[in-house]
Amino acid sequence: MENPINLSASDFYQKISSDENAVIVDVRTPQEFNDGHIQNSLLIDIYNPTFQSKILELDKTKNYYVYCRSGNRSYHAGVFMLSEGFGSVQHLEEGIISWTEKLER
């Protein structure tokens, strides 16, 4: 089993800011997303029954940066993505609760 790359909040911010091939995926619930999310995030709720099919619609050649509240859901989402052939999956290790940059609402 392959694991996503763990990134601190500062490393995550640095990577998404400089990676032209980045896709930021928020796997939290719509309510959590509306409370504040990282700019340009794509919401794909891991609890939604359509989660796996929505993930599989994504371009596997992009670089994915996945996050949730504390890092648990995004870790599991990343493991799933890697098992399905995604080449680059990194996750915000301590979740959005460790995020110090501006959030979009």
User: How do the domains of the chain map onto residue ranges?
Assistant: 5-98
Report the alpha-carbon angle 81-104-97, nearest 5: 65
C-alpha span between 66 and 59 (Å, rounded): 14
- The predicted pLDDT at position 10 comes to 97
C-alpha span between 80 and 18 (Å, rounded): 25
- The predicted pLDDT at position 75 comes to 97
Give the class (CATH, top level) of 5-98: alpha beta
Q: Give the pLDDT band of residue 1 (cuts 50, 70, 90).
A: confident
- The predicted pLDDT at position 78 comes to 98
What is the percent of the chain where pLDDT is above 70?
100
The answer to whether the beta carbons of residues 63 and 70 sit under 8 Å apart is no
Q: Give the pLDDT band of residue 79 (cuts 50, 70, 90).
A: very high
Instruction: For the chain, give the mean pLDDT.
Output: 97
Closest-CA residue to 27 (of 81, 101, 88): 81
